[in-house]
Amino acid sequence: MSNAISHMDLSHDHFIDASGLLCPEPIMLLHNAVRDAESGEVIKMLSTDPSTKRDINRFCEFLGHELLSEEEQGDEFLFWLKKV
């Protein structure tokens, strides 16, 4: 039995639909959501811009937030991050 968390089981406190937006807009929306979130809350983000895969990893590394999971479904990218 795997200990991996199913993406369907990841709850979230905030949701960002950045589909159709291009860099830097998805990260700007994420930055605003993180600013408004409380410490420990989870933000789920949907994006269609492939550059968000790189940008969200860098965002989390730079600001110290925890990237809980990421998933690619065709041309959509899903991310779950926890505000520290």
Would you say residue 1 has pLDDT above 70?
no
Q: Are 29 and 44 in contact (CB under 8 A)?
A: no
Q: Is 60 an active-site residue?
A: no
At 4-32, the pLDDT tens digits run 444 556 899 999 999 999 999 999 999 99
Question: Which pLDDT score is estimated for 10?
Answer: 84
Q: What six digits make up the tokens of 6?
A: 């199913």
Q: Say which of 23, 29, 46, 68 is annotated catalytic.
A: 23
Q: Given this model, what pLDDT does residue 81 score?
A: 97
Q: Residue 84 in contact with residue 39, Cβ under 8 Å?
A: yes
* Mean pLDDT for the chain overall: 91
